[in-house]
Chains A and B, each alone.
Chain A
Amino acid sequence: MSTVGATVPMADMTASQPAAERRARRRMLPLVAPAVGVLLVWMIVPLVLTLWFSVQRYNLLNPALHGFAGIENYQYLVTDPDFWASLVNTLVLVGAVLVVTVGGGTLLAVLFDQPFAGKGIARVLAISPFFVMPTVSALVWKNLMLHPIYGIAGFLWRLVGLSPVDWFATFPLASVIAIVSWEWLPFALLILLTAVQSLDHSQIEAARLDGASFVQQFRYIMLPHLSRAISVVIMIETIFLLTVFAEIFVTTSGGPGNATTNLAFLIYARALLQFDVGGASAGGMVAIVLANIVAFFLVRSIGRRMDI
């Protein structure tokens, strides 16, 4: 595989003459247009409607209350303490899950690269959580694992003589992070494992003979080799982690207080608990801005490493 090198002449293509580029663009337009076109419609139509609703008084349950609201919905949003908490929670959730899954995934990838009996089956078991739907994982963790009375965790706690912990009340955000990490760790493992396996093992062998410690081998040979795979993991996971919803909805409903309310859940609460479409749309617009900021940083830091 490694002979099919990453030698695509990206740089010279983009730097080529404008005329050639124009020609290429004309020729390629029919190919790109359908995908970009439908996505644009899918994006623009709701966007315009959302923008429109965000400056309206529009509550599904109170049709009597309507009309132009100006920036009122935004005012109520930014002066809502839950809003700022939700931004912080969103970022903490994304950051923490990334750290856990990338860190854990790298270690596990190295582990699963070693030969041991039954490795194939062990690997299949380890990546299984990725295939489980988020609603189900949340339900299983909430009711069967972390439930303070019936859950396995409570049982283990009692076994060693501790009184069981009510995880979702005492460590709400950490519990949600744990569930989401459980779902995404296998994904990181899968991607990083393929990267580790494509590593030229003779290089490590050589380093080992030169007396490099395991940590050194890891730091100077493994990590640089993995950097692109890690970027892929960060990229894809960030996309999904920004909109984590089912796990929160099922376990904590954003609480206690606002401890686990992320932006997606806040918008949900506005839209489908208060049926305040105007307020929810204002939240939606903020989410769009946030997504673009995050996308910008992803481009700056990661996109480049993946030479998109």
Chain B
Amino acid sequence: MKISLRRIAMGAVATTAIGCATTTAHADATITIATVNNGDMVIMQGLSDRFEQSHPGIHLRWVVLEENTLRQRLTTDIATDAGQFDVLTIGNYDAPIWAKQGWLSPLDMPASYDVGDLLKPVRDGLTYKGQLYGLPFYAESAMTYYRSDLFRKAGLTMPAQPTYAEVRGFADRLTDKAHGIYGMCLRGKPGWGLNMATVTSMVHAFGGQWFDTAWRAQIDTPSWRQAVGYYVDILQKDGPPGATSNGFNENLALFAGGHCAMWIDATVAAGSLYDKKSSSVADSVAFAPMPTGSFTGGPTWLWSWNLAIPRTSHNQEAAKQFVAWATSKQYVQLVAQQKGWVAVPPGTRASTYASPEYKQAAPFAGFVVAAIDSSNPNGQTKAPRPATGAQFVAIPEFQGIGTQVGQIVASALAGQTSVEQALRRSQSVTDRTMRQAGYSASGAPSP
């Protein structure tokens, strides 16, 4: 009922606005925004009546879904040209792929929007053939969270740039299962954007990659055995029980509840871990960069949630106004005013990181921007690779492959298969899917 009341109120405001000042006569447009149920988006939804006030004639309707359901919903809708949505929330994985299919409208932003202020790696991830197709709402890289109190008690110091080997030693020392303290929390829940984000980034650090330049899967290789072996071993010895059902949220809850000594995951968690209202370890959480392995300087981790407009939308202009509003500098200011600086959407704009208030409210800001700057999503792995992407492979088939391999890795983590077997199966599953999708051994997709 709230929505319709608000809409009536807005309607009244709109009519008076038109009645008083006969300037631009806005056609009434209702735009449907599809988004994920993450904290920053919930804030956006909450503040959106400000947008409706400043843009009379544009009404907003919200479809908020959990990430997987949202992606399947949007893909079905767009691929069938059904046009149910005007603004989409998509990842930097989806954006270039969808742009390539011609599903998204290009976004030419006015100078006042200041595209140059968007962090370069993030902006590059949304660009296809020199044209921007999505605007970043928030972006993240990954880092190591740890509990300074536990480190102090055990007489340990986190180095400025830890390695995976060092981290392993710390985890063994800090695990205290009797008191519900687990040395290392990592994503274990199967999914291309869940456990495989962690695993892919580790594989890169251990000198491995998904495909060689002829699109042959490179999973049954020593670097994968090392990386997955490390991952399974550390989680089985020092991880929390139920690791195979832990994704980002579950680990966040575990760390916030004081159950993890270390956690390597998305930088976006810093805000809530630092917030006393949602975290019982706000005083003792500390940060370090992501650990490194034998191959440094390769792609690490870069994810962004972005707003984009589908070609099928009938309200392109209104949708564009909303997208620009929600990713603008002014929106960052608005969140800072209303919810405090620590709650502003991170990782998108240089101006946010230049703000002294933000630096003061968010001591992790420096780590985050450094991690994003060095995420190197388009960089090379140890051996050359055919596609880009930091913790994913930027081809449409990766969702399916990543999820299947994710399942197999989870079964190794659950102790149902050995790492050896798991990698052999993953290799054959991946080769099969690539063959079915028409990637011939010669290189490019055949059709």
Could you tell me which A residues sit within 8 Å of B by CB distance?
Answer: 59-66, 72, 76, 80, 82, 142, 147-149, 154, 163-166, 168-170, 172, 251-259, 269, 272-276, 279
Contact sample, A vs B, 11 pairs, CB 8 Å cutoff: A59-B437, A62-B437, A80-B432, A149-B259, A166-B243, A168-B242, A169-B244, A169-B413, A255-B411, A273-B399, A275-B400
Q: Select which of B180, B397, B433 is within 8 A of A149 by beta carbon.
A: B180
Q: Taking A253-B190, A256-B410 as contacts, is the C-beta distance between A169 and B396 under 8 angstroms?
A: no
Q: Taking A163-B177, A170-B414 as contacts, is the C-beta distance between A61 and B242 under 8 angstroms?
A: no
Q: Taking A65-B437, A272-B72 as contacts, is the C-beta distance between A164 and B241 under 8 angstroms?
A: yes
Contact A256 B413 (CB under 8 A): yes
Q: A148-B242, A274-B400, A275-B399 are in contact. List 8 more A-B contacts (CB 8 A).
A: A65-B437, A66-B447, A147-B242, A166-B243, A256-B411, A257-B416, A269-B403, A275-B75
Bound-complex Cα distance A172 to B410 (A)? 12
Q: Select which of A72, A257, A273 is within 8 A of B408 by beta carbon.
A: A257
Chain B, residues 324-355, CB within 8 Å of chain A (1/0): the string is 00000000000000000000000000000000
- Which chain B residue has the least Cβ–Cβ distance from A172? B414
How many B residues face the partner with a CB closer than 8 A?
41
List residues of chain A with CB within 8 A of the CB of B432: 76, 80
- Nearest chain B CB to A36's CB is how many angstroms away? 30
Q: Please tell me if B245 contacts chain A, counting CB pairs below 8 Å.
A: yes
Contact B437 A257 (CB under 8 A): no
Contact B447 A64 (CB under 8 A): yes
Contact A169 B445 (CB under 8 A): no
Bound-complex Cα distance A272 to B75 (A)? 8
- Which chain B residue has the least Cβ–Cβ distance from A261? B407
Contact A256 B241 (CB under 8 A): no
Q: Taking A76-B432, A273-B399, A275-B79 as contacts, is the C-beta distance between A166 and B242 under 8 angstroms?
A: yes
- Which chain A residue has the least Cβ–Cβ distance from B192? A273
Q: Which residues between 394 and 432 of chain B lie within 8 Å of chain A, taking CB atoms?
A: 396-397, 399-400, 403-404, 407-408, 410-411, 413-414, 416-417, 432
Bound-complex Cα distance A76 to B97 (A)? 25
- Nearest chain B CB to A85's CB is how many angstroms away? 11
Contact B414 A61 (CB under 8 A): no
Q: Taking A62-B396, A273-B399, A273-B400 as contacts, is the C-beta distance between A254 and B447 under 8 angstroms?
A: no
Q: Please tell me if B256 contacts chain A, counting CB pairs below 8 Å.
A: no
Contact B241 A61 (CB under 8 A): no
Q: Select which of A63, A164, A169 is within 8 A of B245 by beta carbon.
A: A169
Contact B417 A257 (CB under 8 A): yes
Q: Select which of A82, A163, A275, A276 is within 8 A of B241 by beta carbon.
A: A163
Bound-complex Cα distance A149 to B413 (A)? 18
- Nearest chain B CB to A274's CB is how many angstroms away? 3
- Nearest chain A CB to B98's CB is how many angstroms away? 9
Contact B242 A149 (CB under 8 A): yes
Q: Select which of A59, A163, A253 is within 8 A of B191 by beta carbon.
A: A253
Contact A256 B407 (CB under 8 A): yes
- Nearest chain A CB to B232's CB is how many angstroms away? 12
- Nearest chain A CB to B85's CB is how many angstroms away? 16
Contact A255 B242 (CB under 8 A): no
List residues of chain A with CB within 8 A of the CB of B101: 61, 63
Q: Select which of A61, A80, A82, A257 is within 8 A of B410 by beta carbon.
A: A257
- Nearest chain A CB to B419's CB is how many angstroms away? 13
Contact B75 A61 (CB under 8 A): yes
Q: Please tell me if B159 contacts chain A, counting CB pairs below 8 Å.
A: no
Contact B411 A149 (CB under 8 A): no
Bound-complex Cα distance A63 to B447 (A)? 10
Contact A60 B445 (CB under 8 A): no
